[in-house]
Amino acid sequence: MSILTWHTSFAQSPNLVPNGSFETRIECIYNDGFIADAPPWFNPTRATPDLFHQCAVVNTDPCPWPDQYYLDPWLYGIPTNFMGCEHPYDGDGYAGLFVAGNNINGYDGYKENLGVRLVNPLVAGNQYTLKFAVSLPERVGYAIWNIQVFLVRIVFSNRIVL
């Protein structure tokens, strides 16, 4: 099982990925970690990627993380959260997702994904550079070899249509 933090951008000017550092958040009243709280990001599958944001921090001793964790207000905070201690690559937030796992929530081969509509469509023949930062949290003992990005042309109601 692996989890990573995610910050992404297309390296053109302007950046084609909106809210790439998960800085914009609807509100921070509830510390629920829903990725939809950082629009226009969405969850394209039934899996549950998480949103970690500094507005959720309550823990007064942020690093190292506590030996035991509970469903406290700092669960999805930054830098300390239920997965470890990680500062954002950029901005005030990041996304966390399991990229591989066996039999999580009753799904064998469980994987979490993120979705976002680019600010402008990609133009055929143009070159683009995609950059993102990943980090393996302290509470995760396994990693994967690679991360894949899937670009699709059609989005319907924030769900990918293949």
Total tally of structural domains belonging to the chain: 1
140/156: higher pLDDT: 140
CB of 68 closer than 8 Å to CB of 93: no
Segment 75-97 mean pLDDT: 84
Segment 118-130 mean pLDDT: 86
Q: What is the extent of the structural domain holding 12?
A: 1-162
- Residues 90-108: pLDDT tens digits? 888 999 988 776 666 666 6
Stated pTM of the model? 0.79
CB of 88 closer than 8 Å to CB of 14: no
Backbone angles phi, psi at 111, to 5 degrees: -145, 140
